[in-house]
Amino acid sequence: MAVQSGTYRGVSAADRAAERRARLLEATLAVWSDPSDARPTMTRVCAEAGLTERYFYESFRSLDDALTAVMEAVATEVEEVSQAAADAAGDDPAARVQASVRAFVDLIADDPRKGRVAIVEAGAMPALRARRTQLLRHFAHRAAEEGRELYGLDGWGPREGELAGLLFIGGMAELVTAWLDGTLEATPEELVEAATAMFVGLHATRLA
């Protein structure tokens, strides 16, 4: 649906549409992460946002479109906070890895809903599974790039880097899944230390 033009009470039509989209994204996150329901619905999302279906279709083509948008928003936030933390940690490889992992774990610990929908729930939905896989591969590639920047080609060669990056990201996804499900008892700091040791250890084996 096209956004109507014009200004209402000093707020432009584009700004009003953006505010509605943000409300719908937050509502989708809330409904999707609710353990009392097996499957989110557009009706529940609209009720949570306090908006009608008309405004839902203003922002999204379908419920799957809204779910994908939430998943990608979480992925973007993870990438941004992790990269910022690594950059702030300086040049020491272990410190950069630890800071990046800690930023990710802190994000999920502060709002477990984000980890649950993007890592756990998205994998159970056929319509989202392919995009979730693409995002995991993207993070694996970024891990490989980070490894080459930190350790050079002696740490991970191009092919080894992609394999090790996927191993690291896949391991992180399973670790977080078990933690969020309550099947793994661990503190956030223990998750950070385990993930950091894995990343650094993969390079140490290569460099030895």
Domain-located, residue 51: yes
Res. 153: pLDDT tops 70: no
Beta bridge partners of 12: 7
Examine the domain organization and report whether 54 and 156 are in the same domain: no
Label residue 133 left, alpha or beta by phi (over 0 means left) and psi (-120 to 50 means alpha): alpha
Domain-located, residue 84: yes
Range with the lowest mean pLDDT among 168-172, 195-199, 202-206? 202-206
CATH number for the domain harbouring residue 183 = 1.10.357.10
Give the count of domains, the chain: 2
Examine the domain organization and report whether 87 and 140 are in the same domain: yes
Of 145 and 72, which is predicted with more confidence?
A: 72
Of 100 and 5, which is predicted with more confidence?
A: 100
Domain-located, residue 45: yes
Mean pLDDT (whole number) for 40-57: 96
Examine the domain organization and report whether 13 and 98 are in the same domain: no
Domain boundary among 16, 34, 60: 60
Domain-located, residue 148: yes
Query: Where does the pLDDT of residue 1 fall: very low under 50, low under 70, confident under 90, or very high at 90 and above?
Result: very low
Contact 120, 113 (CB under 8 A): no
How many C-beta atoms surround the C-beta of residue 28 within 10 A? Answer: 29
Contact 178, 184 (CB under 8 A): yes
- The reported pLDDT for the residue numbered 202 is 76
- The reported pLDDT for the residue numbered 111 is 97
Domain-located, residue 166: yes
pTM: 0.88
Domain-located, residue 2: no
Examine the domain organization and report whether 87 and 165 are in the same domain: yes
How many C-beta atoms surround the C-beta of residue 170 within 10 A? Answer: 14
CATH number for the domain harbouring residue 11 = 1.10.10
Mean pLDDT (whole number) for 86-108: 94
Examine the domain organization and report whether 113 and 94 are in the same domain: yes
Examine the domain organization and report whether 112 and 91 are in the same domain: yes
Residue 137 lies in domain: 64-207
Examine the domain organization and report whether 74 and 96 are in the same domain: yes
- Mean pLDDT of all residues belonging to the chain: 89
Examine the domain organization and report whether 130 and 36 are in the same domain: no
Examine the domain organization and report whether 127 and 170 are in the same domain: yes
Query: Where does the pLDDT of residue 54 fall: very low under 50, low under 70, confident under 90, or very high at 90 and above?
Result: very high
